[in-house]
């Protein structure tokens, strides 16, 4: 990965609609998204991968009135991923996480698995009843997954653009997302840049001494 190149480029805002991500590249990227970490391995996400014109058109038509300027970006992207987050964390979800960990042999020692489950439940109860920020905390896991996937996309030569300009209620309704116990958190458009619309101006960031404190 050429970090120097990444540090001196703008995110793509306009995609070339004639270019499609090869299937093997897409599957590699989705495999990476599946592998991204989450705190306590809570895995609070479900991902809708819009690979067809019908899927992208449905999303573009349901962004909400004030966000229609993002429609073109979605329609021209090769793929767009709707990253959703659980609206709550029922025992059934935790049981499914723990059961999968057992199947995968994450903790070969049953005593360690039991201790892990107890510690996880205590921590999640703290988030839910102590800090009262369970939903916000789960959304942080979603953004962590998105950020890591953007870096993986860059490694694969794919441009990735996050989008927060949408009405989550409208998107949820269009894809029947809330029926699954999730809600839309953020969108990630993927594809290849339109060479005629690439930003070539310098990026602008605060200087190092304004951003870093060494202790």
* Full-model pTM: 0.96
Query: Contacts for 127-132 with beta carbons within 8 Å, 24 or more apart?
Result: 128/89
What pLDDT shows up at residue 73? 97
Walk along the chain (215 residues) and give the pLDDT tens digit of each residue: 788 888 888 999 999 999 999 999 999 999 999 999 999 999 999 999 999 999 999 999 999 999 999 999 999 999 999 999 999 999 999 999 999 999 999 999 999 999 999 999 999 999 999 999 999 999 999 999 999 999 999 999 999 999 999 999 999 999 999 999 999 999 999 999 999 999 889 999 999 999 999 99
Length of the chain (residues): 215
Residues 174/58, Cβ–Cβ less than 8 Å: yes
The beta-strand segments (E) located in 51-171 are 79-86, 159-163
**From the CA atom positions of the chain, what is the Rg in Å?**
19
Residues 89/182, Cβ–Cβ less than 8 Å: no
Spatial CA neighbour of 100 closest among 92, 145, 90, 122: 92
What are the backbone angles phi and psi of residue 87, rounded to the nearest 5°?
-80, -25
What pLDDT shows up at residue 118? 98
């Amino acid at each position: 990965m050429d970090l120097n190149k990444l540090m001196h480029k703008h995110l793509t805002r306009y995609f070339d609609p004639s270019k499609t991500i090869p299937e093997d590249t897409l599957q590699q990227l989705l495999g990476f998204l599946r592998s991204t970490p989450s705190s306590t391995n809570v895995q609070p996400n479900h991902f809708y991968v819009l690979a067809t014109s019908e899927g992208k058109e449905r999303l573009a038509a349901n962004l909400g009135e004030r966000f229609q300027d993002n429609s073109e970006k979605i329609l021209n992207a090769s793929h767009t991923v709707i990253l959703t987050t659980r609206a709550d964390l029922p025992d059934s979800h935790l049981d499914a996480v723990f059961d999968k960990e057992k199947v995968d042999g994450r903790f070969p020692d049953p005593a360690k698995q039991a201790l892990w489950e107890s510690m996880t439940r205590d921590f999640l109860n703290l988030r839910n009843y102590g800090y009262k920020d369970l939903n916000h905390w789960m959304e942080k896991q979603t953004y962590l997954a998105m950020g890591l996937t953007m870096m993986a996309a860059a490694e694969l030569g794919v441009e990735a653009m996050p989008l927060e300009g949408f009405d989550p209620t409208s998107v949820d309704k269009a894809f029947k997302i809330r029926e699954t116990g999730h809600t839309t958190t953020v969108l990630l458009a993927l594809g290849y840049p339109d060479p005629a619309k690439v930003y070539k101006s310098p990026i602008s960031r605060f200087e190092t001494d304004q951003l870093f404190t060494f202790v």
